[in-house]
A and B are shown apart, each in its own frame.
Chain A
Amino acid sequence: MDTASERRPDTAGMLIAGVLLLIAVVIFWDTSALQLAPTYGVGPKATPYVIATGMAVLAAGNFWLSWRGDYPERESFDPKAIVLILGGLAALIAIIGLGGGFIPATAVLFAATATAFGRRAVHIDLAIGLALGFIVFLLFDKLLTLALPAGPIERLL
């Protein structure tokens, strides 16, 4: 997958190895705080310790891979698209968390994602999202009694 010339230490890979090691430490730390042990058999601490050890070993393995530069080559990527989609998700979570309801939340996510995929017609996409949310809400909440979060719009239906 790589040519010899590219085999040099990969910083992102080392970062990953670091994160894995951190996870292992967190598991150790969290597990050592457990107080209750069962009267018989193996307690709740054994498995986490095994997994944490495995994770630490794999952190070393990943470090070795990145040292050899044995990582797939990464193409440039478009951070705007990522930000747009995650922004859409964050907006969806916020709208639902604040009681704005399912339909507007869906519309925002729909429009944000469509924009991330290169469409330049936010108003139309918002309208489509609203229509989609509306249909889905009627179908699932009203007809099939599946409880979806209700906001001002949904309460009118």
Chain B
Amino acid sequence: MSLLSRGICRGLLVAGATLLATSAFAQMEIKVIAPAAPGGGWDQTARSIQQALIAEKLVKNAQVINIAGAGGTVGLAQFVNGAKGDGNQLMVNGFVMVGAILMNKSPVSLSQITPIARITEETQVMVVPANSPIKTAKDLAELVKKDVAKVTFAGGSAGGVDHIMAALFVGAAGADASKVNYVAFSGGGESLAAILGGKVTAGISGYGEYEGQIKAGKLRAIGVTSPQRLPNADVPTFKELSIDLVLTNWRSVFGAPGISDAQKKTLAELVDKLVKSNSWKDILKQKGWDDAYLPGEPFAKFLADEQTRVGNVMKTVGLVK
């Protein structure tokens, strides 16, 4: 028994030591705020940042804090109110938060926090089950034009990137985007099951999430939203099918509100080192995320454009009055 318990102790020490084993020269203790519950995209991004920061010894310590709720707006509100001037915090957010802020009539907005950089993006894909009579995005566009109500799209939560893409597709196909029949599911798993089971006409998701199904021939990918074809997949873009639909689900990091220029510069440098590190590149490869690093002013401008576009779609679909 004593041998066993000594073994346990040693194991615990190993586990403990590996947690604490960071070098002393990088002094920052970074808090990475994930405005979502564990398991989702923002949480995984935050945990990947944590993992890479520690592995590269860029900081003394990094902690992920989950503040879930309402498309991230609960986390945003807490960040705006609670992190003022704190140069040691980073918040992960992205495309979905832009819509959530509008939809939930959030009292705080992205303009109140400090944009650092866009870091990753995921291409969106539209799929149909392998046995569907729909072969191409053109076929689906025809169906939509004929009777928009009968074409059901499955995807994530209402007002999210999938919903916006469905509306944009219906609009681009020449039908009334306000009539889109979008069925919101609470998780990627549930909507995938509905697509595979043929309960809905088509499904929408991030490409990475359905890649396995597509490669296994269970789902047919009829279009991706990137401007160019993905390097590792033989799926046409909507653009080349002359359906005007370009969209990526980007993720970004922000600093706290009211931080000094020096603090902002430090964070920007940290993020710059992070995204250029090998650990980060390995993570991107693992997770199937694309590098979309866009720091500083260009990111601020990109953000403004996306806010306008999302706002317009939300009004069309009737998610915002």
Chain A residues proximal to chain B, CB less than 8 Å:
35-36, 39-40, 143-145, 147
Contact = CB atoms under 8 A, between A and B. Distances in A.
A144 B64 CA distance: 12
Interface residues of B, number: 14
Given A36-B319, A36-B321, A143 B16 contact: yes
A36 B318 contact: yes
B19 A147 contact: no
B181 interface: yes
Given A36-B319, A39-B179, A147-B64, 15 more contacts: A35-B321, A39-B149, A39-B178, A39-B180, A39-B181, A39-B318, A40-B149, A143-B16, A143-B19, A144-B19, A145-B19, A145-B63, A147-B31, A147-B63, A147-B65
Nearest to A35: B321
A157 to B, nearest CB: 13
Contacts of B180: 39
B230 to A, nearest CB: 32
B55 to A, nearest CB: 15
Contacts of B178: 39
22 contacts: A35-B321, A36-B318, A36-B319, A36-B321, A39-B149, A39-B178, A39-B179, A39-B180, A39-B181, A39-B318, A40-B149, A40-B181, A143-B16, A143-B19, A144-B19, A145-B19, A145-B63, A145-B64, A147-B31, A147-B63, A147-B64, A147-B65
Nearest to A40: B181
Nearest to A145: B63
B311 to A, nearest CB: 16
A33 B84 CA distance: 35
